[in-house]
């Protein structure tokens, strides 16, 4: 990583960072080794007659190959009867522009584009009568590319000491290209070559869709006094793909009733676009006939209500409590009675492919969050956060269940201390520690017999959706370090020993069907892992 000035008079600067990694020791649940690299940069061109410009960007590549003959019974992300190749790419670039219109107003604009792609290829092995591998063939080809083009502009105006206004627009154009061609588990046609290899790829998915999403908003803040202020806003979303529209009012009130204490209340109606792979999913309505049966789904919506209390009870100390309730509605679910809901999408690696969905689902999230913070002073800092919550939903079967994210509680604790050493006290010994624990993640149990009958493709007991829980998560990290600063302060050497997961707890990651053992096995995360690092800054 490097950063520095481009032109000191114009206060322009640059920042660039590149990483290349091989995560061999830290891989979870597999012997395959992931490779990754990324580059990010930001160029600030300083003040000009046309305003201030910033150019930023980021790009990343990653890949992992699962080679069948290298798989053992502990590898739960691969199949010993096939080779699988996974690669991903991400790229974005954008330009920020800040223009001061006068002493009381300014305009901030951003334009940019993002591309995300993922590829999956699978080769199946060919066996002879003695179960020896004599060849292989390409069984599955899948590619997903999502392009996003963005333009946002925000106008800010301070009319007087009591009233200011913010208004803007965010326009995003989504382009989704998704193809899946498959002949895995398909029969060979004897009348052709009778070589044991399926003769034709079957197109499972072929999507190329472009649609804009337009968001407009306006928000005003009025200060009745230095201690009491009121926010009122209106937000609107419009999806051109199916002409869905959502008008969302929002408001908030904040009262600083003592020098150290404040309380606030907020309400808002919020909407979220249905994930594009769900919205454009093509369902096979009859043999060989595919239709987009989800294309009329409306936005998912929720009422958000929050009340918060903030107390600065001592110098550099703060206590914050926040209670919230969210009522989710218009969540896509199946027409027929089932436990499925889009609210759980994102908990797994892939989207569940379901068609003929309707916006009839609902859910509830509510909880209490507490934060105790000691800002860095007197050589140490501290932060403790606790969240107690409930997250439930109902599918078309009308049964209230845990969502995939209902861990019930989360606690994080951080503490850090520095001791200045040396004659001039410019060097330091550092100590940092972090403790995290959460409740067990809900999951849907696998039907082992049905999975075996389905050629090893997992079948879940959906009538028992998210009825089981993994064990609670616990992790404690400890880091020791030494920082050596040069006399002129131009060079800093830092040495760290980072002891991750010092209790060697192997937290549960997921339960998967294992084709090697023909059983349901548990994938655990990495236990104790020491990390050693040297960093030089100049």
In tens digits, what is the pLDDT along the chain, a chain of 538 residues?
888 888 877 789 999 999 988 665 555 566 778 889 999 999 999 888 899 999 999 999 999 888 887 776 667 667 778 899 999 999 999 999 999 999 999 999 999 999 999 999 999 888 888 878 888 888 899 999 999 999 999 999 999 999 999 999 999 999 999 898 888 766 666 555 556 677 778 887 888 999 999 999 999 999 999 999 999 999 999 999 999 999 999 999 999 999 999 999 999 999 999 998 899 988 888 877 889 999 999 999 999 999 999 999 999 999 999 999 999 999 999 999 999 999 999 887 677 879 999 999 999 999 999 999 999 999 999 999 999 999 999 999 999 999 999 999 999 999 999 999 988 888 999 999 999 999 999 999 999 999 999 888 899 999 999 999 999 999 999 999 999 988 877 888 999 999 999 999 999 988 888 887 889 988 888 899 998 988 888 7
**163: CB partners within 8 A, 6+ apart:** 220, 221, 222, 223
The SS3 of residue 224 is coil
**Interatomic CA distance for residues 79 and 514, integer angstroms:** 8
Nearest to 18 by CA among 57, 44, 71: 57
Which pair of structure tokens corresponds to residue 63?
């890949």
Predicted pLDDT of residue 161: 92
**Interatomic CA distance for residues 427 and 486, integer angstroms:** 9
| DSSP structural state of residue 449 | H
Predicted pLDDT of residue 455: 80
Residue 45 sits at φ, ψ, to 5 deg, of -90, 5
**Interatomic CA distance for residues 105 and 50, integer angstroms:** 15
| DSSP structural state of residue 444 | P
**Interatomic CA distance for residues 383 and 411, integer angstroms:** 11
Cβ-contact 500, 531 below 8 angstroms: yes
**Interatomic CA distance for residues 122 and 184, integer angstroms:** 9
Q: How many CA atoms lie within 13 A of 96 on its CB side?
A: 13
Per the listing, tokens 């859910």 go with 363
What's this model's pTM, rounded to 2 decimal places? 0.88
Beta-bridged to residue 316, according to DSSP, are: none
Cβ-contact 30, 523 below 8 angstroms: no
Strands (E) across 128-241 are located at 133-158, 163-182, 202-223, 228-239
Predicted pLDDT of residue 191: 53
Predicted pLDDT of residue 186: 67
**Interatomic CA distance for residues 79 and 72, integer angstroms:** 9
Predicted pLDDT of residue 192: 56
Predicted pLDDT of residue 76: 64
Contacts of 161-165 with C-beta under 8 Å, sequence gap 24+, read 161/223, 162/222, 162/223, 162/224, 163/220, 163/221, 163/222, 163/223, 164/220, 164/221, 165/218, 165/219, 165/220, 165/221
Per the listing, tokens 């936005």 go with 299
**Interatomic CA distance for residues 257 and 251, integer angstroms:** 19
| DSSP structural state of residue 450 | H
**125: CB partners within 8 A, 6+ apart:** 68, 81, 82, 83, 133, 135, 136
């Amino acid at each position: 990583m490097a950063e520095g000035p481009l032109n000191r008079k114009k206060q322009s600067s640059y920042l660039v960072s590149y990483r290349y990694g091989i995560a061999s020791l830290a891989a979870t649940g597999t012997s395959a080794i992931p490779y990754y690299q990324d580059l990010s940069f930001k160029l600030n061109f300083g003040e000009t007659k046309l305003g201030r410009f910033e150019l930023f960007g980021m790009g990343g590549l990653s890949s992992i190959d699962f080679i069948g003959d290298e798989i053992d019974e502990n590898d739960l992300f691969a199949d010993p009867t096939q080779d699988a190749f996974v690669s991903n790419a991400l790229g974005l670039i954008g330009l920020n522009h800040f223009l001061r219109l006068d002493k009381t107003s300014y305009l901030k604009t951003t334009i940019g584009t993002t591309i995300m792609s993922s590829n999956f290829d699978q080769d199946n092995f060919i066996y002879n009568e003695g179960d020896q591998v004599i060849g292989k063939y390409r069984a599955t080809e899948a590619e997903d590319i999502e392009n996003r083009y963005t333009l946002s502009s925000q106008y800010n105006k301070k009319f007087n000491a009591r009233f200011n206004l913010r208004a803007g627009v965010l326009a995003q154009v989504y382009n989704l290209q998704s193809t899946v061609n498959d002949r895995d588990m398909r029969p060979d046609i004897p009348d052709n070559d009778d070589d044991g290899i399926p003769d034709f790829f079957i197109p499972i998915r072929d999507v190329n869709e472009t649609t804009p999403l337009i968001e407009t908003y306006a928000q005003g803040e009025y200060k009745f006094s230095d201690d009491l202020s009121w926010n009122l806003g209106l937000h609107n979303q419009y999806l051109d793909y199916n002409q869905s529209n959502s008008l969302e009012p929002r408001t908030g009130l904040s009262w600083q009733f003592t020098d150290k204490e404040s309380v606030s209340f907020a309400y808002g109606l919020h909407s979220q676009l249905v994930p594009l792979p769900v919205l454009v999913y093509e369902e096979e309505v009859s043999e060989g006939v595919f239709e987009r049966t989800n294309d009329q789904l409306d936005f998912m919506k929720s009422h958000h209500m929050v009340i918060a209390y903030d107390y600065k009870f001592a110098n550099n100390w703060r206590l914050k409590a926040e209670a919230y309730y969210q009522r989710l509605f218009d969540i896509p679910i199946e027409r027929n009675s089932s436990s499925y809901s889009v609210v759980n999408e994102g908990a797994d690696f892939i989207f569940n492919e379901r068609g003929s969905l309707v916006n009839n689902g609902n859910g509830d999230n509510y909880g209490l969050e507490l934060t105790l913070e000691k800002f860095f002073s007197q050589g140490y800092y501290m932060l403790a956060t606790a969240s107690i919550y409930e997250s439930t939903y109902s599918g078309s079967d009308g049964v209230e269940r845990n969502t995939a994210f209902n861990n019930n509680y989360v606690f994080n604790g951080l503490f850090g201390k520095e001791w200045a050493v040396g004659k001039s006290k410019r060097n330091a010994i550092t100590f940092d520690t972090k403790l995290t624990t959460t409740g067990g993640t809900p999951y849907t149990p696998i039907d082992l017999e049905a999975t075996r009958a389905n050629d090893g493709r997992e079948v879940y007991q959906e009538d028992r959706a998210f009825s089981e829980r993994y064990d609670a998560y616990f992790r404690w990290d400890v880091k020791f370090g030494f920082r050596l600063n040069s006399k002129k302060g131009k060079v800093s050497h830092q040495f760290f020993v980072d002891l991750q997961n010092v209790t060697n707890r192997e937290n549960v990651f997921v339960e998967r069907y294992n084709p090697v053992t023909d059983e349901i096995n548990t994938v655990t995360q990495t236990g104790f892992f020491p990390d050693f690092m040297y960093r030089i800054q100049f």
